[in-house]
Amino acid sequence: MTFDALDGVLLIPAASACLLAALPGYRLTSRLNMLAAFLTFATACSLFVVEPTTGSYLLVDDLNKVFIVLTTFVSFTTSAFSASYIGHEIEIGRLKLGYVRFYHAMYQVLMFAMNLALVANNIGLMWVAIELATLTTVLMVGIYRTHEALEAAWKYFILGSVGIALALFGTILIYMAALPVIGEGPNAMVWTILVAHAARFDPDLLNVAFVFLLLGYGTKVGLAPLHAWLPDAHAEGPTPISAVLSGLLLNVALYALLRFKMLLALNPIAIAPGPLMVTMGLISAIFAAFMLYRRRDIKRMFAYSSIEHMGIIVFAFGVGGPLANFAGLLHMTMHSLTKSAIFFAVGHIAQVKGSQKISDLSGLTVTHPVLGWGLVLGVIAIAGLPPLGIFMSEFLVVSSAFARQPWLVLFLVCAILVALGGLFIKLNTIAFGEPRGSTAPSQASYVPMFAHLAIVFVAGIYLPPMLVAGFENVARLLG
């Protein structure tokens, strides 16, 4: 039996999860965690060089390559951030040393589950992977064992399970739809075979299935009104997990939705999935934009900002067409990078100040200039101001959608502007208010944060033609 890169992105996290579960201490293990994440990232990059063959369980195509590389890259930088973050948490005694072993093992299991969901060529396997990812994040969110953390984990668990259950029902319905055409057995759950025969599936069954899948996986994407778990889970878990949740896990659920959307698009009689996605995306964006104004907790605020951006991304994919898909894909990438950079900054800020409350953090550019200005840069990026990457992707979303649905775009632009206002009011307090709290220097590592911001900055000015060609290709694939 030979191993290729696809097995690599699964086996490396799985093996390191076992290893990290056995090793004590945190200095060595956090480095090992980084090393494993880096090896996974390197393996993922090799997918572009040598493309493994698609089997009946694992699949590789242009669409999931983009997702895998993004996922493994952010996992790697987050593991670097996590190393310094966890070190500090242990020093102040917020996290017991015994939990660190568990934390690192769970981190790698989460990487495994996300990669599995992305490469699965079987709708059942993909469902199992997303369920696994949900359960590991539930455990990680509750890791501090405080009131708030447990409540957040419980809420996340209940809502996530309901979403996952609905998604499974949708998956069964897809199988039922494929049954008369493909026949009994595992083949009726394989993506590549499903796609080849989708035109002859029963359209009514596909329609109902998509509604369940949209609600089910939509819960995981954090679309309003199914988003209630998201702010709590982001705020109460360790910050590296908030970064991974926002930057990656939401994308993985979105990937599942996109796959099913492609399936439905191939059937001429089934409903167009676009309008449903446009509606949910728009509602999420508008709702989350207004919710930004009343936040007192910095991590909850950026969690709502994630809901807003996922709304924009789902909106773009819902509008469809090569241009809007391209914009959606670019926006997703930029959002992952920017949001995780912001959470890196927020994590260190909360550590030096010993609080997540916005009122306790004011005057950050005076007390901690590097962190403060890093956060300012991140918020400028996430709010969509030029010349950073999100400005470009939002501009593309708006302009490509304007050609198709001008009235809807009006609402979207309002949402973006409202969110910008909300973010800047809060940023003004945090960065430039009267200095408060601890002025002790932070021993944080700024490399992951500024690496992400640098990429976002460069992408706003210049996109390499290779990347553009690759994204265009994927956008065509998405239809």
What residue ranges bind another protein (CB under 8 A)? Answer: 122, 124-125, 127-128, 131, 135, 138-139, 142, 145-148, 150-154, 157-158, 161-162, 164-166, 168-169, 171-173, 175-176, 179-180, 183-186, 188-189, 202, 204-205, 207-208, 231-232, 235-236, 295-297, 300
Question: Min. distance of Cβ 152 from another protein in angstroms?
Answer: 7
Question: Min. distance of Cβ 128 from another protein in angstroms?
Answer: 5
- Give the residue with the Cβ less far from another protein, 241 or 334: 241
Residue position matching structure tokens 């709702």:
287
| CA distance to 69, 82, 88, 218, 252, per residue, from 111 (Å) | 12, 14, 23, 21, 11
Tokens of 122: 């079987």
| CA distance to 56, 68, 96, 272, per residue, from 170 (Å) | 21, 24, 41, 17
CA distance 66 to 114: 13
Specify whether the CB–CB gap between 214 and 257 falls below 8 A.
yes
H helix intervals, 23-122 = 27-45, 62-91, 97-119
- Give the residue with the Cβ less far from another protein, 149 or 282: 149
- Give the residue with the Cβ less far from another protein, 91 or 151: 151
CA distance 77 to 452: 9
Neighbours of 144 (CB within 10 A): 20
Question: Min. distance of Cβ 132 from another protein in angstroms?
Answer: 8
Neighbours of 470 (CB within 10 A): 17
Question: Min. distance of Cβ 57 from another protein in angstroms?
Answer: 9
Question: Min. distance of Cβ 60 from another protein in angstroms?
Answer: 20
Tokens of 157: 């668990």
Question: Min. distance of Cβ 75 from another protein in angstroms?
Answer: 22
3-state DSSP call for residue 190?
strand
- Give the residue with the Cβ less far from another protein, 183 or 465: 183
Question: Min. distance of Cβ 274 from another protein in angstroms?
Answer: 20
- Give the residue with the Cβ less far from another protein, 131 or 394: 131
Specify whether the CB–CB gap between 273 and 210 falls below 8 A.
yes
Question: Min. distance of Cβ 146 from another protein in angstroms?
Answer: 8
H helix intervals, 405-464 = 406-432, 447-461
Question: Min. distance of Cβ 207 from another protein in angstroms?
Answer: 7
- Give the residue with the Cβ less far from another protein, 199 or 461: 199
3-state DSSP call for residue 127?
helix
Q: Is 389 exposed, middle or buried (0-12, 13-18, 19+ CB in 10 A)?
A: buried
The DSSP symbol for 228 reads T
Neighbours of 183 (CB within 10 A): 9
- Give the residue with the Cβ less far from another protein, 161 or 438: 161
- Give the residue with the Cβ less far from another protein, 125 or 361: 125
Count the residues in the chain.
479
- Give the residue with the Cβ less far from another protein, 205 or 310: 205
- Give the residue with the Cβ less far from another protein, 8 or 163: 163
Tokens of 72: 């493994």
- What are the DSSP calls for 139-156, one per residue? HHHGGG--HHHHHHHHHH
- Give the residue with the Cβ less far from another protein, 27 or 296: 296
Question: Min. distance of Cβ 145 from another protein in angstroms?
Answer: 6
Residue position matching structure tokens 């993922």:
44
Question: Min. distance of Cβ 135 from another protein in angstroms?
Answer: 6
